[in-house]
Structure 1
Amino acid sequence: MSEILNLLKGSLGSEMIRGVARETGQPEDKTADVLQMAMPLLLGAMKKNASTPQGAEGLMKALSSKHDGSILDNLGGLFGGGIDQSVLNDGAGILGHVLGGRQPMVENALSQKSGIDASTIANILKIAAPIVMGYLGRQQSQANIADAGGMDALLGSLLGGQQSQGMDMFSALLDADGDGSIIDDVSDMVQGKKGGLGGLLGGLFGK
């Protein structure tokens, strides 16, 4: 199981799920399902971006300057009066950087799997992205990560260490067989047909 999903366990995760559900007007169970799929996906995208020294340096700079984990200390305040637009703007910026032009594909895939419309999925991702970055920033600080190799190893461990060599969750989800559809690739991975990712994704998408 991906370590990032530990964030959804306990009181902190319950607060996050309730807050996102209230903000987007979705049932808590469906919101939880989307977050369980989206959070490892976002980390996988970050791992892909950090696979070069320049990408890793950019990610570590963002973590040290803005996403140090403090967002996790007051989720009640984050959701209490409705999500501030600055948080949504921050989330949109993170998504644009880590997903790029494939963001609509990701949103549509999560929409088809969850039954929630893609525009709502987009909002859930905007809220989740700064929280995921905050979680990563806290883990980086606790592990005293200061170089690209350490960041790559940290991201791998948070994803559960179940990635097959040379392939990460992000690239696998985004059309692994090159046919223009990521939904069938997800289904194949759930059934264990795409190497080491099957075990990791089976619990997330195989519902």
Structure 2
Amino acid sequence: MGILDTLLGSDNGDAIAQLAKQIGLSEEQARAVVKEVTPALTRGMQHNTKDETGVEGLITALRTGNHARYIENPSVLGTAENIDDGNSILGHIFGSKEVSRSVAEHASQETGVASSLIKKALPIIATMVMASLGKSLFGGTASASTNTEQTQPSSGILSSLLDSDRDGSIIDDVLGMAFKMAFR
């Protein structure tokens, strides 16, 4: 199961409802925005994990960031701490606000939701993606994801979770993202 499936699954209905409430959208609109921006976030993660150092950095962030709380306790979505954490994640994933703006503009065109609302949603969704990825890799609750005694997941597991087109390879996904960015 991929990150998008996990985020939109029935187990995360409360998180989607809280996102909708925080941004001022219907739950259907919030789902559409999550569905549209999550692949861009995972492709950014793929780009950042193209070498072992990037994979190790992401695994460390997942293990120590306590991101699972954003899914386990959706009432914290939209808080100042959540937004700050999400903006840090976006900065690391995309590298610049220009890319975040581009993602918001594209998602706006695809969903019909104002880009200003999507820009507000992006940091929240980024933390939800990290929470879902952490739970997928480490399972359990927020306390389990911060247990440093656990076995380190392999980059193969990480790659399969980030494989947006589910063909078993993240190379084409990263190349596709680079191609789209170059010819905008």
Deviation (angstroms), 1:69:
2.2
Task: Give distance in 2, aligned partners of 1:165 and 1:149.
Answer: 10
Check if 1:130 corresponds to 2:127: yes
Deviations 1:127-176 (A, max 9, x none): 111111011111221495434444324433xx3523666221x6524543
Q: CA RMSD in A?
A: 2.5
Length, aligned pairs only: 172
Please list, as runs of the form range in 1=range in 2, the aligned pairs for 1:36-115 lying within 5 A after superposition.
36-67=35-66, 69-75=68-74, 77-79=75-77, 83-101=78-96, 102-115=99-112
Aligned to 2:142: none
Which contiguous aligned blocks of 4+ residues in structure 1 show a shift greater than 4 angstroms?
none
| Distance in 2, Cα, partners of 1:126 & 1:177 | 21
1:142-153 to 2 correspondences below 5 Å = 142=139, 144-153=151-160
> 2:8 is matched with which residue?
8
Residue aligned with 2:105, SS:
helix
Q: Equivalents in 2 of 1:148, 1:176: separation in Å?
A: 25
TM-score normalised by length of structure 2: 0.80
Normalising by structure 1, what TM-score? Answer: 0.72
Deviations 1:37-96 (A, max 9, x none): 122321222122111111111111111111352332222x325xxx21010011011011
Bigger CA radius of gyration: 1
- Structure 2, unaligned runs of 5 or more: 140-149
Structure-2 residue corresponding to 1:192: none
How far is 1:97 from its partner? 0.8
- Could you say what secondary structure the match of 1:176 adopts? helix
* From 111, 115, 120, the counterpart of 2:117: 120
C-alpha displacement at 1:6, in angstroms? Answer: 3.1
Q: Deviation string for 1:3-60 (max 9, x for gaps)?
A: 53233121x3321222111111122221111111122321222122111111111111
CA 38–144 in structure 1, closer or farther in 2 if over 3 Å, else same: farther
Q: Which residue of 1 aligns with 2:21?
A: 22
Q: Structure 2 CA distance, aligned partners of 1:96 and 1:71?
A: 19
Percent identical pairs in the alignment equals: 26
